[in-house]
Structure 1
């Protein structure tokens, strides 16, 4: 099976700061994997804030799994997190309020010409480069668009990484064929 590369989509939102998410998404709020796997993990589960918190928390979880897989996969099978940045035109805000939908449709496409957002074609090209190994990224890497870089300080927690992998295996065991 080697060489192989598993690439999981991540997001800057896992940083939880203004620099990485322009204040549009609350930072992650880590809880036990069993709590996170159930509806209502965050206060006001029917609110946009809860949904966005769940999103950033899931992206932190993605990086935990990438790190854990990097330790556990056999040599030659890499695990990499890929962050495309904000990609307008993907329907991400389709169920958001009118202001957010307007911003995603009219403002963010223009921002794809800046470092704050990525166009769909560019995001796809960058992903292909990560998958094919054209973008240099050792196993366990966090790739921000076109280069491997460090993910958030919170994303380096071996205890959480192991607990999440164990929970994922336990919660999905009934579905393994």
Structure 2
């Protein structure tokens, strides 16, 4: 289960190895984990990578809160300052949606590369208030996410943490049936965005991620 995820208030924050932190946690960390465990997965194993419907980039999926992805070559995405006005929250949120698009690309590439019988799927929990994802946001935004937006879980626009946990368990355990490479939107297999199907980008993110994590794989 690859559930690591952060959203920063800028696109300038670097991790300890110098890579942009959103890309590091949302893309590279999950990729490294899967690659290090790949040899121990047995047939009928299922790998689940948590993604986000913000990668669609439209109001229906992001509620106007997160800009859509702005794709660059992964080598650039791994660096700080990849987006305009990189010191702003908008750039940090763009880095987030772009990283989730990158994660879907990797899932598609994994589906082609993993041994037969080992499946991998993307899981979109939807908007889940109260997860502390926006802990680096401004004070007003943090208060809204923690104390106001949870009311939206009473509508189809958001999902509670408890419900999301149940949906995620169903995906991990295979109760929610999904073929390898699929995108599971809460409880239903759906197509991800049109932009998320791009073999060239999938190959680019794979080769870039492989190059970056190579020193850690060989430790």
Secondary structure at 2:123 match in 1: strand
Partner of residue 43, structure 2: 2
Aligned to 2:177: 136
Pairwise CA RMSD of aligned residues? Answer: 1.0
Pick one of 54, 58, 82 that aligns with 2:95.
Answer: 54
Secondary structure of the structure 1 residue equivalent to 2:49? strand
- Note the 1:57-136 alignment, pairs <5 A: 57-136=98-177
Consecutive unaligned residues in structure 2, runs of 5 or more: 1-41
Q: Secondary structure at the match of 2:146?
A: helix
Cα distance in structure 1, aligned partners of 2:54 and 2:156:
15
Partner of 1:37: 78
Q: Does 1:23 align with 2:83?
A: no
Q: State the distance in 2 between where 1:120 and 1:4 align.
A: 25
Work out the CA distance in 1 between the residues paired with 2:149 and 2:115: 41
Q: Which residue number corresponds to residue 13 of structure 1? A: 54
Residue of structure 1 aligned with 2:201, choices 147, 160, 174? 160
- Tell me if structure 1 keeps the 8 A contact 2:132–2:146: no
The runs of at least 4 consecutive aligned structure 1 residues that moved more than 3 Å come to: none
* Deviation of 1:93 (Å): 1.4
Worse-matched range after superposition: 59-68 or 101-110: 101-110
| Alignment TM-score, normalising by the size of structure 1 | 0.97
1:14-35 CA distances to partner (integer Å, 9 max, x unpaired)? 0000110011000000000100
Aligned pair 1:171/2:212, yes or no?
Answer: yes
